Structure 1
Amino acid sequence: MLNALWLAFFLIAAVAALFQWWILGDPGVFERLITSLFDMADLSVKIMLLLFGTLTLWMGFLRIAESAGLVGGLARLLGPLFRRLMPGVPAGHPALGLITLNFAANALGLDNAATPIGLRAMRELQTLNQDPGTATNAQILFLVLNSSSLTLLPVTIFMYRAQQGASDPTLVFLPILLATSASTLVGLLSVAFMQRLRLQDPVVLAWLGSGALLLGGFMALLASMSTAAVASLSSLLGNLVLFAVIVAFLIAGAMRRIPVYESFIEGAKDGFEVCKNLLPYLVAMLCAVGVLRASGALDVLLEGIRWGVHTIGLDARFVDALPTALVKPFSGSAARALMIETMQHYGPDSFPALLAATVQGSTETTFYVLAVYYGAVGVQRVRHTVGCALLADLAGVLASIGVCYWFFG
Structure 2
Amino acid sequence: MVLSRFWLVIFISSILFIVYSLFSANTYTIDYVLNGKKDDPILVSEKYAEQLPAFIKDSIMNAPDQTMIVDMDKSNADTTYVFKNKTVKIYSGVQKSDGLLPTCKSTLLDLIIPLIAYLAFFCGLMELLIISGASGKLAKGLSPVFVKVFPSIPKNHPSISYMTLNFAANFLGLDSAATPFGLKAMESLQEINPDKDKASDAQIMFMCLHASGLTLIATSIIGYRAAANASNPADVMLPCIITSFIGTIAAFLIVGIKQKINFKSASLVAVLMSLIAGIIGLLMYVSHLDLVGKNYFTSNLSALILIGIVAFTLIFSFINEKKFTEASTTVYDSFVVGANNGVKTGVIIFPYVLGMLVAISLFRNSGLFEIISNGIAFFFSAMGVNKEITDALPVALLRPFSSAGSRGFLIDSMNTFGADSLTGRLSSIFQCSAESTFYVIAVYFGSVNIKNTRYTLGTMLLVDLICVITAIFVAIWFF
Quote the offset at 1:38 in angstroms.
1.1
Match of 1:244 in 2: 308
Asked if 1:39 is matched to 2:39, the reply is no
Per-residue displacement from partner, 1:221-260 (whole Å, max 9, x unpaired)? 1112212211101101011110111000011001112432
Indicate conservation of the 8 Å contact 1:37/1:290, yes or no: yes
Q: Work out the CA distance in 2 between the residues paired with 1:158 and 1:206.
A: 32
CA offset digits 1:146-183 (Å, max 9, x no partner):
11111000011111111122121101111111111111
Which string of whole-angstrom CA distances, capped at 9 and with x for unpartnered residues, describes residues 22-54 of structure 1? 6672243x3333232112211220211111111
Q: Equivalent residues in 2 for 1:161-240 (5 A)?
A: 161-240=225-304
CA contact (8 A) 1:302 1:319 kept: no
In structure 2, relative to structure 1, the CA distance for the partners of 1:20 and 1:193 (3 Å cut) is: farther
Alpha-carbon distance in structure 1 between the residues aligned to 2:420 and 2:190: 45
For residue 207 of structure 2, what is the aligned residue in structure 1? 143
Amino acid at match of 1:225: L
- The offset of 1:312, in angstroms, is 2.3
Deviations 1:246-291 (A, max 9, x none): 0000110011124321221111111111112111111111011111
Q: Which runs of 5+ in 1 are unaligned?
A: none
Distance in 1, matches of 2:150 and 2:390, equals: 39
**TM value normalised by structure 1:** 0.96
- Quote the residue 2:386 is aligned against: 315
Q: Deviations over 1:353-391 (max 9, x none)?
A: 111111111011111111011111000100011011111
Query: Is the deviation greater in 107-116 or in 303-312?
Result: 303-312
From 78, 98, 120, the equivalent of 2:184 is 120
2-side partners of 1:202 and 1:23: how far apart?
Answer: 64
Does the CA contact (< 8 Å) of 1:148 and 1:363 recur in 2? yes
2:421 is the counterpart of 1:357: no
The alignment's TM-score, normalised by the length of structure 2, stands at 0.83
After superposition, the C-alpha distances for 1:32-79 in whole angstroms (9 at most, x for unaligned) are: 332321122112202111111111011111111111211111111111
SS at match of 2:339: helix
Q: Once superposed, what is the RMSD of the aligned Cα atoms? A: 1.4
Structure 2 counterpart of 1:74: 138
Tell me, in whole angstroms, the C-alpha distance in 1 between the residues paired with 2:384 and 2:275.
40
Q: Which residue type is aligned with residue 6 of structure 2? A: L
Q: Tell me if 1:26 matches 2:27.
A: yes
SS in 1 for 2:232: coil
Q: Which amino acid aligns with 2:385?
A: L
Shift of 1:140: 0.5
Cα contact 1:186–1:391 (8 A) shared by 2: no
- Write the distance in 2 (CA, Å) between the matches of 1:206 and 1:16: 53
Q: Is the 8 A contact 1:79 1:92 kept in 2?
A: yes
Structure 2 vs 1, CA of residues 12 and 229 (structure 1 numbering), >3 Å: closer, same or farther? same
Q: 2:170 aligns with which of 106, 109, 114?
A: 106
SS in structure 2 opposite 1:278? helix
Q: Deviations over 1:308-341 (max 9, x none)?
A: 2232223221111111111111111111111111
Give the match for residue 156 of structure 2. Answer: 92
Match of 2:443 among 372, 378, 387: 372
Preserved contact between residue 251 and residue 459 of structure 2 (Cα < 8 Å): yes
- Contact between 1:289 and 1:331, CA under 8 Å: does it hold in 2? yes
Structure 1 letter corresponding to 2:459? C
Could you tell me how far apart the structure 2 residues matched to 1:199 and 1:302 are? 38
CA distance in 1, matches of 2:380, 2:349: 41
**Which residue is equivalent to 1:11?**
12
Secondary structure at 1:172 match in 2: helix
Task: Kindly name which structure, 1 or 2, has the bigger radius of gyration based on alpha carbons.
Answer: 2
Residue 389 of structure 1 is matched in structure 2 by 460
Letter in 2 for 1:226: D
Q: Structure 1 CA distance, aligned partners of 2:178 and 2:285?
A: 25
Higher strand share: 2
Residue ranges of structure 2 left out of the alignment (5+ in a row) = 36-98, 325-329
Mapped contact 2:381–2:390 kept (Cα < 8 A): no
Distance 1:59 1:310 in 2: 48
**Count, aligned residues:** 407
Structure ranking higher in helix proportion = 1
Residue 93 (structure 2) aligns with:
none
For 1:37, the aligned partner's letter is L
1:116-171 Cα shifts (integer Å, max 9, x gaps): 01101110000011111110000011011111111000011111111122121101
| 1:276 maps to amino acid | V
Equivalent residue of 2:234, what SS?
coil
Deviation at 1:394, TM superposition (A): 1.1
* Residue equivalent to 1:299: 370
What is residue 359 of structure 2 aligned with on the other side? Answer: 288
Q: What displacement does 1:216 show?
A: 1.2
Classify the secondary structure of the residue corresponding to 1:53: helix
Q: Which has the higher contact order (CA 8 A, sep 6+)?
A: 1
Q: For 1:337 and 1:313, how far apart are their aligned partners in 2?
A: 27
* CA–CA distance in structure 1, aligned partners of residues 377 and 341 of structure 2: 48
Amino acid at match of 2:32: R
Residue 289 of structure 2 aligns to a residue whose secondary structure is: coil
